[in-house]
Structure 1
Amino acid sequence: MQVWVRSSAALALAALLAACGNHAELREQRNLGAFELGFNVVIADNAQTVPGGRVATEEQIEAAITSEIDRRFRRYDGGRLYHLGIIVEGYLLAPPGVPVIAAPKSVMVLTVNVFDDALGENLVPGGKQFTVLESLTGDAVVGSGFTMTAEEQLLNLAQNAAGQIETWLEDNPKWFDYEVVRNPFEEGMTFEVDVTEITPEAAAGTASISRPPARPAAPDRPGI
């Protein structure tokens, strides 16, 4: 994957966008209604990478995304638990390229499932796929392979992935509407949950999951 910058005008535009700030930063909380994060499961054991790119371990990928999902979503305390199951399908951590002329960009492909704990079901059968690019900054324009370590590239992708997921959840308010989902059992609805803990199959959307233990404390990380 290559990004070709063919004119000084394109460079000027990139510089302007970079000056506007990194969209992965935490801003004000979105309107996610009843949302409160329960399980946060990231699975990268089958993630494919592109030959020639930098390589990250399964543990590094899972840790980076898990941390950023926690940082962004533990802020919400809507009172109804939802679990996120994230499958990392593939990634490219850009190697050094020819600055400006051919600057590869880092990219990651994820499939995200959202489980409603009270209903015991996946709200997105089959999951929602995301293609996540690294942020457009002055460093990325000349090639993040020159200006960032592999760990920094991975962090950048993890932050952007969490931001895209947050926007997607906000775009689906019916999932978190108190009036619709707060007390489903009042109408005599019954649900069966037959898995006592989350598994790779559950994260992939092929099994139901049960209510987790008490909500974990928010990670001790400063907000932005």
Structure 2
Amino acid sequence: MRFLRAAVLVLGVGFALSACQKNDLAEPPVPLGDFALGHNIVVTSNMQKVAISRNATPDEWEAALEKAMEERFGRYKGAKLYNIGISIDAFALAPPGVPLVLNPKSALGMTVTIWDDAEQKKLNEEGKQIIVMEKMSEKTVLGSGLTQSAARQMEILSYNAAKAVERWLLENPEWFGLPPLGTPATPAATTFGPNLPGVTPAPVVAE
């Protein structure tokens, strides 16, 4: 219900809290340790539609979000498999014909869980709750329902959702064999002297 209330608020005031600025899928993925995508599962059994919204079926949402997740995380080629499960909790697709004073925005609320496939265990004990919205642009300032189809709105929200999941994973690098955030860097060490048998040159640590 929290997702539903938040989505209603955003839809009513027309304020975008989370948005991607550009499509970055053509760029190399940011480092994510030993991550490789295993199962990519989206469920909609508890999904609710905000009252002021276009219709979209569970199958449509599952297909759109699974596609976006595969496009983003299928680029990673690490040595271990990680499974990502997403439950869509609520959505709002801005409809056409709504009075401009509402300035409706599209929104998607979801709960995310990631699993270590080899050990068959969850890496986050509690599901990560994420809400994403469309960005403000010349096409959405009057409400994206006037300028975009429902399929396009779902595509944009799914892209933003996958991007938000990636940001969350990057905040937890220790899950993927990387040092935790904030770990002090190890000083670089350089050795000088002849490389002779039986002689171990003393290390010189950079200040």
Residue 125 of structure 1: how far off its partner (Å)? 1.5
Residue type at the aligned position of 1:98: P
Tell me whether 1:64 sits opposite 2:74 in the alignment: no
Q: Give the 5 Å matches for 1:21-36.
A: 22-26=21-25, 27-36=27-36
**Greater per-residue strand proportion:** 2
Q: Distance in 2 between matches of 1:150 and 1:78?
A: 35
Runs of 4+ residues deviating >4 angstroms = none
Cα pair 2:36 2:79 within 8 Å, conserved: yes
How large is the Cα RMSD of the aligned pairs? 2.2
Report the count of equivalent residues. 166
Question: Residue 121 of structure 1 aligns with which residue?
Answer: 121
Q: Distance in 2 between matches of 1:111 and 1:4?
A: 23
Residue 119 of structure 1: how far off its partner (Å)? 1.9
Residue 131 of structure 1: how far off its partner (Å)? 0.6
Question: Residue 45 of structure 1 aligns with which residue?
Answer: 45
Cα pair 1:36 1:79 within 8 Å, conserved: yes
Q: Distance in 2 between matches of 1:4 and 1:119?
A: 43
Cα 1:141/1:28, change in 2 over 3 Å: farther
Question: Residue 199 of structure 2 aligns with which residue?
Answer: none
Please say which structure displays the higher CA radius of gyration: 2
What per-residue deviation string (whole Å, max 9, x for no partner) do you get for residues 73-102 of structure 1?
000001100000000011111112334x33
Cα 1:38/1:23, change in 2 over 3 Å: same
- Higher relative CO (CA 8 A, sep ≥ 6), structure 1 or 2? 1
Q: Distance in 2 between matches of 1:102 and 1:59?
A: 29
Question: Residue 12 of structure 2 aligns with which residue?
Answer: 2
Q: Distance in 2 between matches of 1:166 and 1:160?
A: 10
Question: Residue 200 of structure 1 aligns with which residue?
Answer: none
Residue 50 of structure 1: how far off its partner (Å)? 1.2
SS of the aligned residue for 2:140 comes to helix
Cα pair 2:14 2:105 within 8 Å, conserved: no
> Taking structure 1 as the reference length, what is the TM-score of the superposition?
0.69
**Greater per-residue helix proportion:** 1
Identity fraction in percent: 39
Cα pair 1:34 1:79 within 8 Å, conserved: yes
Q: Give the 5 Å matches for 1:79-98.
A: 79-96=79-96, 97-98=98-99
In structure 2, stretches of 5+ residues that fail to align are 1-10, 181-207
